[in-house]
Amino acid sequence: MREAFARDGVVPLPGALDPGQLAAALKAYDWSLANPSPRASRIRQATEGTFFNDLFNPDCLTGYRDMLQASPLPALVARLWGHGPVWFMYEQVFLKEGAEARRTPWHQDSSYLTIAGPDLAVVWIPFEPLPASASLEFVRGSHRGPLYNGSSFALGDDTAPLHPHASLPRLPDIEAQRDTHDIVSWAVEPGDVIVFHPQILHGGAPTHGGARRRTLTLRFFGENSVYDPREGGAGPPISGFHKRMKAGDRFRDPSFLQLAGT
């Protein structure tokens, strides 16, 4: 699994969470829905379906600390890297339900973050069973390729850049050229997780009328992570953080919770 994660940028971990651990993750997810942050938003789409997203809640640890400290996920991430320590960076919650909700455009999480390095991991936790066709999709090995401009999630053009005047190249139209990319996805059941590097190209399938897709992602970083500023601005939005850091500095801040390793 460690070799696959380094090579492919993504690995499925079936049954990583037992029922109690999954319930704790769902309790944290529900806390996020009940306590939306100033960054909570409904992503633009052509239907009346819900596509809710929230992240970087400044009070996140109020609802997440106990779950994170008891979870096996930080130790699993350390094993995928081959070493600790592991710090929690932030959470992100997604809710798709109601009428058909648009697919999540292809993008790289790293485009929106000021962090780089091999010791990065996003743990994707689904709360409903999903066939591979409705799960998260990845371009295998793309975390080792170029970093693209972020998607602005514009309707009608998934590749429209978040920062049009930045030097990062525009995203390729992967959905229109699926046959030319090594796209992988996995069917998942509650308790399964998928772990991926934030620089991998990925996107989410749409949901159809009457379906619901609740997913939680937990983002972690480790020893070999550095500050890497992005043109146009990027996260995490911690007061004074960017003034204290310069490109290439080890990515550290006292506000990040250490969970595994010393």
Q: Which helix (H) or strand (E) holds 29?
A: helix 19-34
Q: Is residue 222 part of a domain?
A: yes
What single-letter DSSP state applies at residue 130?
B
pLDDT tens digits in sequence order for the chain, 262 residues long: 999 999 999 999 999 999 999 999 999 999 999 999 998 887 765 566 678 999 999 999 999 999 999 999 999 999 999 999 999 999 999 998 876 777 789 999 999 999 999 999 999 999 999 999 889 999 999 999 999 999 988 888 889 999 998 899 999 999 999 999 999 999 999 999 999 999 999 998 877 777 788 999 999 999 999 999 987 778 888 888 888 999 999 999 999 999 986 5
Cα separation, 206 vs 109, in Å, equals 19
Q: Is residue 257 part of a domain?
A: no
Q: Which CATH number goes with the domain that contains 152?
A: 2.60.120.620
209 exposure class (CB count in 10 Å sphere: 0-12, 13-18, 19+)? exposed
CB atoms inside a 10 Å sphere around CB 79 = 14
What is the overall mean pLDDT for the chain? Answer: 92
Residue 215's φ and ψ, nearest 5 degrees, are -140, 145
Q: Is residue 154 part of a domain?
A: yes
Q: Is residue 248 part of a domain?
A: no
Q: Is residue 253 part of a domain?
A: no
Count up the domains in the chain and report the number.
1
What's the domain range around 54? Answer: 2-230
Which residue matches tokens 């992100």? 92
Q: Which of 173, 233, 178, 224 is nearest to 197 (CA)?
A: 224
Q: Is residue 113 part of a domain?
A: yes
List, in sequence order, every residue forming a beta bridge with 94; answer none if it has no partner.
53, 215
Q: Is residue 238 part of a domain?
A: no
pTM of the full structure: 0.94
Q: Is residue 38 part of a domain?
A: yes
Spell out the residues 6+ positions from residue 94 whose beta carbon is closer than 8 angstroms to its own: 51, 52, 53, 104, 204, 213, 214, 215, 216, 217
Strands of the chain, DSSP E? 10-13, 41-42, 50-55, 86-97, 104-107, 115-116, 120-126, 136-139, 183-185, 193-196, 202-204, 212-222, 226-227, 257-260
